[in-house]
Amino acid sequence: MRATGAWSAGGCRRLGAAGSAAAALGGWAVGTLPAHDPWGLWVPHGPAVTAAGYAAAYGGLTVLVVAWWFYGRAGASVRHTLVTLGWWTAPLVLTPPLYSADVYSYISQGVMVMQGHDVYSVGPSVLDPGGPGGDAAASVGGHWTDTPAPYGPFFLILARGVAAATGGTIVPAVLGMRLVALLALVLIVWALRRLAREHGRSESAALWLGALNPLLLIHVVGGVHNDGLMTGLMLAGVLLALRGRWITGSVLIGLAVMVKSPAALALLFVGVVVGRAASGPTVRRVAKGLLAPGLVAGAVAVGATLVCGTGFGWLGTQGVAGRIHTALSVSSDLGLGLGELLRMSAGIDPDVVRSAVQNLGLLVALVLIGRLAWHAATGRTEPVRALGTALLVLVALSPMVQPWYLLWATAVIAATASGGRALGTVTVLSAALVYETQPSGSTPPYGFVLAALACVAAVLHLRRERAAAPDGQVPGPRRPADSPAEQDVRPAAR
């Protein structure tokens, strides 16, 4: 039976749009405002407006999350879901950056490339405070002011283009980077729909979790994180590889790696697809799968590096993020706690202990990922579905974890999984992790409390739904009952 009233697809659309608008309105007062805006648009407005802004931001965010949760159970069509995505995205397009100051680093690094600075050896603090990009550099979060760029040359080419087009002026530069994020969202939608068809999954269900997701809206559109671009390129590359165009697919994955390095994990599972589709002796098929996609992506990396002119310093900056402690990283938390315990009891350097535990976490992740790849290669699991789980493992055991890192796995799982623990996990975490950071970009202790409460509420609701379901399974988004816009979701012939 279809939901009616406020919880119908139309009711949830309107409710979510109101929540998004309220969150955006609050962001104008309490978003990640720049240190200085020469246009006078994104500036503080006093304690009363700030208090009202927080109320609007958190209230709107909660309304958006609730609307998203029930929209997935309302049986919306693909067309309805796409229009809803437009409604929920629109209020966030012109806001100041929300929930993170990372976009200021992107702008600063674009200006640094434009001016010939080595972004892989120095941080944004080298920019002239009164020159292009100076306002962006002054707005960068404290940890990153003197930190070299951890991003690949392809992303820096885009950042340089935005910096050149806007002169590094803060408002147009942020909006220019947000345009890149919106194009990434379009790419995610395009790839999600087609990957869902390949895996016999409802397109509207895949879009609900992989694109309409509040975690994506606030951190890719609102926060302008380049994880959206990495994910879109990775999804598109995997899709093309599934359709037999693995060279083009590997090129796109190579570009994704040249945004953020975790996309390289997709090459392992694309290699499984390539190897299984190859002809000839087993050794030849295994060699092709292991080497060919990586060689193509490697050639793309070299080409992007030469075109950008930044040199190969990015090879040495991929671990800089791990030096910054984030409370969502299990291995970092355990390492920090164990290190302090050993410091007090045995005088051991806590940094050495933390680094060892972080490395152990990565080792465990590699073992689990290798097992997933083996299962995919031997036909025990579907390769792209295994990739989604592998990305989830990588995020869970990384030395630095931010809420939006979950999106790497969420998009893949949304397109491939019709049920199971992975789908339930990313659904619950998507509803909870939106609360972990403030609109201003800081991470207050109460953010973890709010996230925990949201997580408990989501789990209890899922259990209630499971108990009511005839088959006892964890329910996912419903397919539309009779919608001409919903496409045939049987696997396409390959």
Name which of 190, 171, 178 is nearest 221 in CA terms: 178
Torsion of CA 238, 243, 247, 251, to 10 degrees: -30
Name which of 454, 364, 415, 440 is nearest 189 in CA terms: 415
Does some domain include residue 277?
yes
310 C-beta neighbours (distance < 10 Å), count: 24
Mean pLDDT of 351-355: 86
Name which of 56, 104, 114, 123 is nearest 317 in CA terms: 123
Does some domain include residue 242?
yes
Rounded distance, CA 95 to CA 107, Å?
16
Contact 95, 20 (CB under 8 A): no
Above 80 in pLDDT, residue 482? no
Give the up-direction half-sphere exposure of residue 246: CA atoms within 13 A in the CB hemisphere.
25
- Average pLDDT over the chain, rounded to whole? 89
With cut-offs at 50, 70 and 90, classify the pLDDT of residue 321.
low
Rounded distance, CA 154 to CA 113, Å?
12
DSSP annotation string for 457-487: HHHHHHHHHHHHSTT-PPP-PPPPSS-TTSP
Does some domain include residue 275?
yes
- 405-415, pLDDT tens digit by residue? 999 999 999 99
Does some domain include residue 149?
no
Give the up-direction half-sphere exposure of residue 186: CA atoms within 13 A in the CB hemisphere.
6
Contact 200, 417 (CB under 8 A): no
- 100-147, pLDDT tens digit by residue? 999 999 999 999 999 999 999 999 999 989 899 999 999 997 778 888
274 C-beta neighbours (distance < 10 Å), count: 24
Q: How many domains is the chain partitioned into structurally? A: 1
Domain interval for residue 286: 234-316
Does some domain include residue 24?
no
- 214-233, pLDDT tens digit by residue? 999 999 999 999 999 999 99
Does some domain include residue 226?
no
Does some domain include residue 217?
no
Quote the percentage of the chain above a pLDDT of 70.
93
Does some domain include residue 287?
yes
164: amino acid identity, one letter = A
